[in-house]
Amino acid sequence: MRTILYPGSFDPVTNGHLDVTIRASHIFDRVVVAVAVNSEKKPMFSIPERMELLRKVLKNYPNIEVASFHGLLANALKEFDACAVLRGLRAVSDFEYEFQMALMNRQLNEECETLFVMPSPDYSFVSSRLIKEIALNGGDVSAFVPPDIARAIRKKAEEGNL
Ligand code: PNS
């Protein structure tokens, strides 16, 4: 049973994250999508909200689970019985940060290998940061996130909670 751990902020989950997760689910027996509990000052969605939304959009994939983790990613592998970390690489611009993180994680835990999956080029320009910025300024994000997420963002906006 081979498990891969896909960590991230997922605030919010985008079509690009989904694409990476589903591709990995075809290769690994189990994919654990893990929301990092960190101290981001102004998240759009709380950790429980992000987990609920991830569960909603991934409900049709029996070998994909949603979880959260505290502290260092390098220490979380064991907790989920995972053999490696999964990260998406959209473009060369992602590479430097990801390369640094992968090597640092391996320095912290020599068993912490990172595997990269390239999402479809359709999503190469999609990021949670831009989704948040577009939503904050009243734009339509429905082409970049699953319908459940677009609905949740609209609801936050209507409630004045963005
Ligand atoms: O979706 P993101 O924001 O690009 O994900 C970044 C994430 C959560 C994977 C990274 O910040 C992380 O691993 N955080 C946990 C704390 C940690 O281990 N930091 C050191 C990384 S070398």
- Per-residue pLDDT tens for 112-131? 999 999 999 999 999 999 99
Active site residue 26: no
% helix, strand, coil for the chain, step of 5: 45, 20, 40
Tokens representing 79 are: 């907790």
- Per-residue pLDDT tens for 56-106? 999 999 999 999 999 999 999 999 999 999 999 999 999 999 999 999 999
Active-site option among 26, 41, 42, 129: 41
pLDDT of residue 38: 81
Active-site option among 17, 30, 50, 87: 17
pLDDT of residue 160: 87
Reported residue count of the chain is: 162
Active site residue 30: no
The yes-or-no verdict on residue 40 having pLDDT over 80 is no
Q: What is the mean pLDDT of residues 27-47?
A: 92
* Residue type at 52 in one-letter notation: E
Tokens representing 14 are: 């985008």
- Angle at which helices 147-158 and 47-57 pack, to 10 degrees? 150
Q: Give the three-class secondary structure for 162.
A: coil
The yes-or-no verdict on residue 45 having pLDDT over 80 is yes
Tokens representing 11 are: 């605030």
What is the percent of the chain with per-residue pLDDT over 90, rounded to a whole number? 93
Q: Give the three-class secondary structure for 155.
A: helix
